[in-house]
Structures are given as C-alpha cells and as structure tokens.
Structure 1
Amino acid sequence: MKQAHHPELDEISLTAVMAALSDPIRVGLVLLLADGRERGWGELRAPVAKSTLSHHLRVLRDAGITRTRQEGTRCFVVLRRDDLETRFPGLLAPVLAAAECDGVGRQVELAASA
C-alpha cells in the first residue's frame, strides 16, 4: 500500500489548520485524539459514512494536524500536538476548550469496545 504523505513541520500552514478545523466532525476527531493516544480508525464513530470519515481523517492529515500509520490492513491515527504547539504556540488548547464548551464535535465518539 502507498505510504501517506505528512507535511513537514515548516509545511504546516495556519490557513490549512484552521480550514481543517472548520468542520464539526473533524473538531470532534481532534477532541478524541487530544488525549495523546493513538487510535485505530475502527475505534472512531461519527454519524457519517465510512468513506466520509476517511475523507475527514485525510483532511486532518494533509493539514498536519494528525499522523496516520498503517499496519497491515489497519490504520492508526494520532494527534500531532507537539508539532502544532511548536509551529503555532498556544493555538490548539483554546480552540479545543471552546469546542468542548460549545459542544462542537460531540457527535464523534469512540466505539463501545475501545
């Protein structure tokens, strides 16, 4: 399988990050990943088709917000918190706090068995 492209730290742009975080599903995914744990794509539940969830995960990866790792036929995703903090100090925490306060992304959750 083809290896996913992840932008280098200096390639991550503020506009790409903000555009990726403009969707409630993607914000919900980032909120779930904010605990720092790597999650299998199968653990993530959202009220969208699997192909749409895959699209959202790709948008986050392409913006430099997440890193995807493939192991056999399974894919895993983790938040690039340290990279985002290095590139845009102090950006992520208030965005996620505001999202939690407003309930943005609450429809995204972990599978019951996770």
Structure 2
Amino acid sequence: MRGLHHPTIDAIDLLSVLNALADPIRLAIVVKLADETEHPCTGFDFGVTAASMSHHFRVLREAGISITRQEGKYRWLSLRRADLDSRFPGLLDALLRAAHNRKENTAQ
C-alpha cells in the first residue's frame, strides 16, 4: 500500500483549507474531530457511500486539515489542530463556532 500524502505545515494553504471546509459533510467531520481524539474512518455515518466518505477524507488530508494513520487494515483520522492553529491562528476556532451557531439556528 502506498503512503498517504500529508502536506507539511508550510504547505498548508488557506484557500485549500477554506475550500475543503465549504462542504457541509467535511465541516461536520472536522466538528467531530475537534474533540481531539482519533476516530476510525468507519466511525463516521453521514448517509453517503463509502467512496464518498473516502473522497471527503482525502480532501481534508490533502488540504492539511486532518492526518490519517494506517494501522493494519484500519485508518484512523485526527485533526491537525496544532498545525492549523500555528499556521492560521484563530481560524479553526472561528469555523467551529460558526458551525455550532449554524446547527443551533437550524434547530430552532
């Protein structure tokens, strides 16, 4: 199996990050990853196919938002919080607040 591409911190581009997070499923994945624990890729259920989820995971990984760790036949996903906070201070917190506020407003 070939290795997975993870950009270096200096290669993480703001427009790529924003583009990746413009998709509601990818934003929901990031919200779940914000609990700072590692999640199995099989632990996300957004009602789309496995191929679609793989695509979303790849977009997040290649944008530098997440890191994927292979362990046997399983893949584990975590948020590159420290890297994102270092590269774009305050951005992730603002996006997570906006996602939380949107969820609260749509629930009303």
TM-score by length of 1: 0.89
Higher RCO structure (Cα 8 Å, ≥6 apart)? 1
SS of 2:55 mapped into structure 1: helix
Structure 1 gaps of 5+ residues are 105-114
Could you list the per-position Cα deviations for residues 52-107 of structure 1 after superposition, in whole angstroms to 9, with x for gaps in the alignment? Answer: 00100000000000000101110000000000000000100011111111029xxx
Q: Cα RMSD over matched residues?
A: 1.0
Match of 2:55 in 1: 55
Shift >6 Å, 4+ stretches: none
Find the counterpart in structure 1 of residue 19 from structure 2.
19
- 2:35 matched to which residue of 1? 35
Identify, as 1 or 2, the structure richer in helix: 2
Aligned-pair identity in percent equals 47
Match of 1:75? Answer: 75
TM-score, scaled relative to structure 2: 0.94
Q: Deviations over 1:11-58 (max 9, x none)?
A: 000000000000000000000000100000111111211100010000
Unmatched runs of 5 consecutive residues or more in structure 2: none
